[in-house]
Amino acid sequence: MSDLAIFGGDPLRVEPFPEWPRTTDPILDKISFTLQNDTWGVGSNVINEFNVRFAEFHDAKYSISVHSGTSALWVALKAAGVKAGDEVIIPGYTFIATASAVILANAVPVFADINLNTGNIDPAEVASLITKKTQAIIPVHVAGAPADMDALLSISEKYGIPIIEDAAQAHGAEWNGTKVGALGLGGIFSFQTSKNMTAGEGGAVVSNNSDFMESCFSYHNCGRVKNGKWYEHHRLGSNLRMSALNAAVLIPQLDTLATDTSLRERNRGMLDTSLSELPGFKPMVPAGKSRSANHLYICRYDAAEYDGISRETFFKVMQAEGIFTYRGYSPLYHEPLFIINPDEYPWLDGRDYQALELPNTERFANQEAVWLKQTYLLGNDEDTKDIIRTFEKVTSAMQKEPKKFLELKFN
């Protein structure tokens, strides 16, 4: 027990994991070229180049770059025809932007429970929540792992309800051999600092539907329409355009994403194999014939296998050893945002999100989910083995003397 850092021993891991974002010579060269040779915003050839290449990479006909993933969601929802008072079904386990974009579109988030094995939205739950007001469904590919798109697309076709994929964490992920994003009506990506492709901030909408993308263009560009006059505005859009400098940072990453994805995949495989052999740990199971982008590593923890030692105590012990494990998302519908003030959100009046109970979401978020940061999947074999050794060291000690851990107190 004295070997554990939490009890005064030396931490197993002291070296940092690979840094992210990563500066490369091709990125620096593309920025320099853009600064010297291109328009920095409207009319930029570099922005056009990024849109074309990003669409091609994601097996889509079209792409429009915007200044954030949140903005991309709003643009896609409006282009899909979401109006004030419409309902949009989303998972209870996701980042706040999935819900806030719905509210920004003056629509109503309807939360569906998740599948415990995948962490993604449960299609059966989605089907049970459809009403005459349902105007869109947003599956989120959590941690880069695709949701069950076959089942969701079947629901979409049956009810005539468009699907907007939230692929903010899923750059390069695949469903049945096709990249995610344009499997439904359209999908969005984020390029925020932590993402597998990053420009610090940024986002994109992709689709194979030209009419949908014409609307996306208008909503992201102040309500203008293609071939219209500059001071001619057809919709209540906004200036959500991406800078050419962001596009310049992203373009070279399209050449390295496949290699990074393979590295993440290999390291995830090593973790899955080893952690599945530990009592009380269950790696996430991918849905269908999919390939995850492995933006994060998530597994499940069963405290019952360790005499009730809480997940939060496990986190503290792991963190002391130099491996930062953490809980990730809370049930989104219990966030303070959803203590509804009808003066501010009149279209949500009467919705009691605080009373909502989604058992799988709450079990996953509040008790079981264990996250590792995305940079942990970018190391070499020894880096990954250090993660595994730390899991083994901590869990072995927890099994031998659980009482000592149950007595730990943290502020």
Domain ranges (residues) in the chain: 5-20+257-406, 25-255
One DSSP character per residue, 332-350 reads: GGGSGGGS--TTT-GGGTT
The continuous run of DSSP H or E covering 189 comes out as: strand 186-190
Q: Which fold has domain 5-20+257-406?
A: Aspartate Aminotransferase, domain 1 (3.90.1150)
CA atoms lying within 13 Å on the CB side of residue 77: 35
Nearest to 369 by CA among 92, 124, 179, 111: 92
Question: Tell me, what DSSP letter sits at residue 302?
Answer: -
Q: What 3-state class would DSSP assign to 44?
A: coil
Pairing, β 87-91 against β 134-137: parallel
**Can you state the angle between helices 96-104 and 69-79, rounded to 10 degrees?**
40
Give the whole-number percent of the chain exceeding pLDDT 70. Answer: 100
* Start-end of H helices in 276-380: 311-320, 359-363
Residue 1 has pLDDT above 70, yes or no: no
Side by side, the strands of the sheet bearing 203-207 are 62-66, 203-207, 186-190, 164-166
Q: How far apart, in whole angstroms, are the C-alpha atoms of residue 283 and residue 297?
A: 9
Residue at 248: amino acid letter: A
Whether residue 330 has pLDDT greater than 80: yes
Q: Please, which residues bridge with residue 281 across strands?
A: 301
- Residues with a known catalytic role: 195
Please write the tens of the pLDDT for every residue from 366-408.
999 999 999 999 999 999 999 999 999 999 999 999 999 999 9
- Summarised one tens digit per residue, pLDDT across range 28-46 is 999 999 999 999 999 999 9
User: What is the Cα–Cα distance from 90 to 148, expressed in whole angstroms?
Assistant: 14
Of 46, 138, 151, the residue nearest 98 (C-alpha):
138
Mapping DSSP to helix (H, G, I), strand (E, B) and coil, where does residue 409 land? coil
Give how far the C-alpha of residue 245 lies from the chain's centroid of Cα atoms, to the nearest Å: 24
Tens digit of each residue's pLDDT (9 = 90 or more) over 121-157: 999 999 999 999 999 999 999 999 999 999 999 999 9
Prior bond to 21 cis, omega within 30? yes
**341-376: pLDDT as tens digits:** 888 999 999 999 999 999 999 999 999 999 999 999
pLDDT in tens, 198-231: 999 999 999 999 999 999 999 999 999 988 898 9
Fold of 25-255: Aspartate Aminotransferase; domain 2 (3.40.640)
Q: Determine the length of the chain.
A: 411
Note the pLDDT of residue 341: 87
Mean pLDDT across the chain, nearest whole number? 97
Q: Alpha-carbon torsion 20, 26, 32, 38, what sign?
A: negative
Q: Tell me, what's the pLDDT at 12? A: 96
Phi, psi for residue 5 in degrees, rounded to 5: -60, -35
Residue 72, pLDDT score: 98
CA distances (Å), origin 112, targets 178, 191, 335, 357: 25, 26, 15, 10
Give me the DSSP letters along 82-113. Answer: --TT-EEEEESSS-HHHHHHHHHTT-EEEEE-
Cα(241)–Cα(217) distance, integer angstroms:
9
